[in-house]
Amino acid sequence: MHTTLLVVDGAPRARLSLRRLMQHAIVVFVAALALSPRPARAVDGCLVLLCLAAPDWRGIPQCVPPVKQLFRDLARGKPFPTCSMSGAGNSANHAWSSAPAFCPPQYTRVIETESAPVYQCDYSGAISVSINGAPFSRTWWSFGGDSVTEFSPAAKTQLGTWGTRFDNDYAKWLASLPPPAPADLP
């Protein structure tokens, strides 16, 4: 974390980075939600939107239970929760995966059968988060509870640090591909 010292009215004050400020905002928001009454089974759409836009929702203890509950709810066919306070251009939605068209290549499996190849995705669905109308992140999740988040280039620039498992898995998959066949020279 980069913290700079700011002097206001002769008194030194710490200035937090955007990432740290976002983490503090999520903690405060989650604490406020925890103290407010709401239905026991409903997952708060605003909370999961904030958590899924974080650099790593697993690293924020207040995000783990609602995100895991969201995955369980989606697995049971419940709709994705909404957030009426998110503001214009800030949203999240869910879509079921469909290999190979809607599944990252590093998580697509091909099973050769007698008649044709069958494609399967390691993940059941994806939750896409948009911030200010632009794609921010996509969290791929499975019925077993596993998930991995793909961050857009804009999100990576804004966050500075993020969970890199998706990128690492993609690099590993890319390195495992056979080299391209040499081109025939005339």
Among residues 20, 43, 66, 57, the alpha carbon closest in space to that of 149 is found at: 57
pLDDT in tens, 73-94: 999 999 989 888 888 889 999 9
The answer, yes or no, to whether residue 100 has pLDDT greater than 70, is: yes
Dist. CA 90–CA 136, nearest whole Å: 10
The answer, yes or no, to whether residue 186 has pLDDT greater than 80, is: no
Q: Which residue has the tokens 């836009």?
A: 53
pLDDT band at 96 (very low <50, low <70, confident <90, very high): very high
pLDDT at 124: 97
Is 150 in contact with 70 (CB distance < 8 Å)? no
Among residues 31, 6, 29, 2, the alpha carbon closest in space to that of 18 is found at: 2
pLDDT at 2: 42
pLDDT at 10: 52
Dist. CA 13–CA 169, nearest whole Å: 41
Higher pLDDT, 51 or 5: 51
